[in-house]
Structure 1
Amino acid sequence: MEKQGNVYPDCINASNPYHDCVDYCLKKIAEAKQKLAESEELSTKDPPEERTVHPDCINASNPYHECSEFCFKRIADAKHQIQKDISEEDDSANGQHVQDDAEAGYPHLNEKQKKLFELRLKLNEARKANQMAMVAEKKKMEGPSESRGISKQKWLEERKKKIGKLLDSNGLDMSKAYMLDTQESAEVKYKKWEKEPAPYGWDVFNQKTLYNAYKKRTKNMEIDMEAYNKAKEADPEFYRDASSLQYGKVSKVPEENIDRMVKELKDREANRKSFSRRRKFHEEKDIDSINDRNEHFNKKIERAFGKYTLEIKNNLERGTALPD
């Protein structure tokens, strides 16, 4: 490898008349030659018949290599980086030359060289502006990526397509999608739909309803099974019947159990006071309608014009609006 002046002929910037090779250039040249040698070794083997390789790929000379999305991305990044490095080197070199030449007034350049030098400066500026415009346009063309994974609408569409393919393979249409449900998923789905009807009439006081109310009240009660078992072992007649000699006597109850019972009763009373059932009508309210539809219409009229007709309504009710 012969060196011409301050530039190696194998350097990527050899065509730049203002470029001087440094250690970085030698390193890049050595890496390129090493990769070329490796690719030549792989080229001696029999290549596959069909493959997809980009000509600018770093492994294009490998007969067994097939480009993927990663390769295309690396090619685009490499081109961008090369153009960026070239523009930066040109800008730095040209900037230094411009400063030196501006101070010296271009003493070592003739008229044509000065004009060529100015054209090179404009070319570098145009290249840099073009590169920035390309990057901005690429960002504008690419849609914004989803910040929190796949959207719900997209997930539903993909799920619908997947179910449609399964139904088509079985000769069914979308109205028969329930036939793809397993027994477990169907039980879970139907359990959500089932609702126990509210008790009506005298059913409010039957044994089942009272037992359900008892379970609801005792669901949040704290039970100390250890203390309960100790009390049961200490008293042989813990559960007394009518023939017991201790029938009617009060057993000893811990204070904390009494406090817990009192707290539950107070909470129940507070809930009962705060409960408000929506009633269909109020008995103390004046009747000013003949049916439900007329009542609804009167409410709308009152809401819209009540504040404007309040005085007229009061005069009619008192009888003061009638003529003498």
Structure 2
Amino acid sequence: MNEARKANQSAMVAEKKRKDGPQESRGISKQKWLDERKKKIGKLLDANGLDMKEAYMLDTQQVAETKYKKWEKEPAPAGWDVFNQKTLYDAHKKRTKKIDVDLEEYNRMKEADPEFYREASSLQYGKAPKVSEDKIERMVKELRDKDEKRNAFSRRRRFHEEKDIDSINDRNEHFNKKIERAFGRYTLEIKNNLERGTALPD
């Protein structure tokens, strides 16, 4: 009886091993795939003289567009998310939407300058082309508008500094507001008398 049980157990173990097979035989493991991908990206970055933070520069246009589409589906930012890459990109898009591009002038400038897209080895590297006055004015106007908008923005304040404090905590403040709403007009004279010190004793 014991021999039969042992034989059955060993047959079961062998069958399980056959069924499962080695871990790698089903396909490459996720960790191994990630490691290989990192190595591959690392080689590409080294070849282009970039570090890991600049890995996004290897993305194609399609990959970048899919990333941005994913970002667009997310809800509005809150808290520290205001400073993340998506929000900064959205702000950039919003600002550049107002810019009018003159393609004729752009093409003219490109034809006039053989090194319009300069490389690091160019002798004219760092030399900026002449910018017309109206473009500078447009940029200044955009910056001023931005400043005005920022100055005009006002968040609703919870506390009014001019108002007298007549509560001990938030709950009490809420209760006092309710009481004031209901009975404020009836108790106004009594309040004023108490503040002036002219209230008559009973």
TM-score in terms of structure 2 length: 0.48
Instruction: Tell me which of the two structures has the higher relative contact order, counting C-alpha pairs closer than 8 angstroms and 6 or more residues apart.
Output: 1
TM-score in terms of structure 1 length: 0.33
User: Looking at CA atoms only, which structure, 1 or 2, has the larger radius of gyration?
Assistant: 1
Greater helix percent: which structure?
A: 2
